[in-house]
């Protein structure tokens, strides 16, 4: 976007107000709603926020999660005319398609993906990009939905932690020091001011307050530490080699009880370990950041740490348990939480297997500007975007290459790509690259500047990889000249 440096936060918030007025009118007229949310952690968070918002107003509504725009169009095909539609974390990329449906009642889009096409009068969009705000890392779909909900009813400020979870689910904690910034920071402020969240800096180990140190280290997969993530025995020996006591008498120690000096030693030890593998020590930096703690949740659950809450929702979305994720994000606990925790454990086990496969030399291919990881038909297509994120966090692609992970789904090849920070800062937009390369081979793609995906025909894998490598190489050369 050429106008990306104008930034109009007030205009965006004003638009949130306008959208909420439209919602208010529909609610007052007792119109039924269909909420369609994307099925990733951010999408489920936004679906939950929209659902609680309507529930609070006693509105009639149905919530459904969808994998892609095809799911949206399918759901709208037979939807009775009297329904208004709320799309969360999906839709902005398909304004023409949605407008051409010519529905009687409005389609309200609460999304942070880059808008494409033009909206008809009945397609109402709240999107940060329209106001020069970068939806890739400044606000999530859940954040956009939250701001509309808060404009509708101030009570919805209670949903602010769910909007933070959505942002973390979309890996928006990319500002220096693993923290949220931009409009996300404003939402964090809402949560803190209302006594719902505590923010502090720490090592970002998974289960920092309840898992034994070596288990917490081995469970940490963002960043994914080669040789340590997924391997408790190696994590244990690394800790002891650094000189960290893992036990206090008979009891396992947890990260949150380590002294500052011990944490420093641990951090330096991990840096040295990474250097010994020839990996950029900057990966260790990703281990330090803001912890967003949901203070009203029980300390021993996965819901206390907003990143872990997001990973629970992600697991629900990736395993066909979307409804469970939405229910938990809406506030259900008890038996449903037990079930969600089982889903998460199972998902983490499958991810560990997929990562083991992806880390093997023979499943990699190095092109000029792209590192390809081919999941063949071994890696479940629903896991491929998580595998891409996790692989990118290992640093295996280096600073100058785009990581492209792909795997076969039933009728197509699913692609998920991640661009290194250096190229994005120089101006590379991966979403556009994938959209272009996919189109050239009769597929479909898009996404954000750092993370994007595509679906391509099964027979076009080699051609697609050539095209994407060519486009990125050309773009990178262009960027260097600038
Ligand atoms: Mn999102």
What's the per-residue H, E or C state across the chain? CCCCCCCCHHHHHHHHHHHHHHHHHHHHCCCCEEEEEECCHHHHHHHHHHHHHHHHCCCCEEEEEECCHHHHHHHHHCCCCCCEEEEECCCHHHHHHHHCCCCCCCEEEECCCCCCCCCCCCEEEECHHHHCCCCCCCCCHHHHHHHHHHHHCHHHHHHHHHHHHHHHHCCCCCECCCECCCHHHHHHHHHHHCCCEEEEEEECCCCCCCCCHHHHHHHCECCECCCCCCCHHHHHHHHHHHCCCCEECCEECCHHHCCHHHHHHHHHHHHHHHHHCCCCCHHHHCCEEEEEEECCCCCCCCCCEHHHHHHHHHHHHHCCCHHHHHHHHHCCCCHHHHHHHHHHHHHHHHHHHHHHHHCCHHHEEECCCEEEEECCCCCCHHHHHHHHHHHHHHCCCCCCCEEEEEEECCCCEEEEEECCHHHHHHCCCHHHHHHHHHHHCCCEEEECCCEEEEEECHHHHHHHHHHHHHHHHHHHHHHHHC
Give me the pLDDT at residue 447, please: 85
Distance 54 CA to ligand 1 centre (A): 21
Distance 268 CA to ligand 1 centre (A): 34
Give me the pLDDT at residue 481, please: 67
Give me the pLDDT at residue 254, please: 94
Give me the pLDDT at residue 222, please: 87
Distance 140 CA to ligand 1 centre (A): 5
Residue ranges per domain, the chain? 9-193, 209-351, 359-481
Distance 279 CA to ligand 1 centre (A): 30
Distance 409 CA to ligand 1 centre (A): 22
Distance 447 CA to ligand 1 centre (A): 10
Distance 87 CA to ligand 1 centre (A): 12
Q: Which fold has domain 9-193?
A: inorganic pyrophosphatase (n-terminal core) (3.90.1640)
Distance 141 CA to ligand 1 centre (A): 5
Distance 362 CA to ligand 1 centre (A): 33
Give me the pLDDT at residue 482, please: 61
Distance 89 CA to ligand 1 centre (A): 5
pLDDT < 70 stretches in the chain: 1-5, 481-482
Distance 134 CA to ligand 1 centre (A): 12
Distance 435 CA to ligand 1 centre (A): 18
What CATH number labels 359-481?
Answer: 3.10.310.40
Give me the pLDDT at residue 2, please: 46
């Amino acid at each position: 976007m050429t106008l990306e440096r104008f930034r109009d936060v007030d205009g965006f918030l004003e638009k949130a107000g306008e959208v909420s007025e439209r919602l208010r009118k529909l609610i007052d007229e007792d119109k039924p709603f269909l909420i369609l949310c994307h099925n990733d952690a951010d999408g489920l968070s936004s679906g939950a926020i929209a659902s609680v918002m309507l529930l609070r107003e006693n509105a009639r509504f149905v919530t459904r999660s969808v994998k892609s725009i095809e799911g949206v169009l399918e759901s709208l095909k037979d939807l009775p005319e009297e329904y208004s539609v709320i799309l969360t974390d999906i839709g902005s990329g398909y304004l023409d398609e949605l407008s051409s449906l010519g529905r009687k009642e409005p389609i309200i889009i609460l999304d942070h993906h880059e808008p494409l096409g033009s909206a008809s009068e009945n397609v109402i969009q709240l999107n940060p990009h329209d106001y020069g705000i970068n939806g890739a890392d400044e606000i999530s779909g859940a954040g956009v939905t939250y701001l509309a909900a808060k404009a509708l009813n101030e009570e919805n400020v209670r949903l602010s932690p769910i909007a933070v979870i959505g942002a973390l689910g979309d890996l928006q904690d990319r500002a220096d020091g693993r923290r949220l910034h931009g409009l996300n920071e404003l939402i964090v402020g809402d949560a803190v001011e209302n006594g719902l969240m505590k923010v502090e800096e720490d090592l970002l180990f998974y289960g920092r307050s309840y898992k034994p140190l070596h288990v917490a280290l081995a469970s940490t997969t963002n960043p994914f530490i080669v040789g340590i993530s997924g391997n408790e025995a190696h994590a244990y020996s690394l800790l002891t080699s650094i000189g960290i006591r893992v036990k206090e008498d008979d009891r396992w120690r947890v990260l949150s009880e380590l002294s500052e000096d011990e944490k420093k030693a641990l951090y330096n030890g991990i840096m040295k370990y990474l250097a010994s593998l020839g990996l950029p020590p900057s990966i260790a930096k990703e281990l330090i950041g803001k912890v967003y703690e949901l203070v009203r949740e029980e300390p021993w659950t996965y819901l206390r740490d907003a990143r872990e809450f997001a990973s629970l929702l992600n697991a629900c979305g990736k395993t066909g348990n979307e409804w469970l994720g939405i229910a938990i994000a809406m506030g259900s606990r008890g038996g449903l939480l037990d079930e969600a925790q089982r889903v998460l454990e199972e998902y983490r086990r499958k991810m560990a297997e997929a990562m083991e496969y992806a880390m093997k030399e023979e499943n990699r291919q190095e092109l000029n500007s792209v590192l390809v990881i081919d999941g063949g038909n071994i890696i479940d297509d629903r896991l491929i975007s998580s595998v891409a994120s996790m692989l990118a966090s290992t640093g295996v692609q280096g600073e100058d290459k785009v990581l492209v992970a792909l795997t076969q789904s039933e009728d197509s090849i699913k692609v998920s790509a991640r661009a290194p920070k250096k190229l994005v800062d120089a101006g590379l937009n991966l979403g556009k690259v994938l959209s272009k390369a996919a189109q050239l081979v009769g597929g479909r793609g898009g996404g954000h500047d750092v993370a994007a995906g595509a679906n391509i025909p099964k027979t076009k894998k080699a051609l697609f990889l050539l095209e994407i490598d060519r486009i990125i190489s050309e773009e990178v050369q262009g960027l260097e000249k600038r």
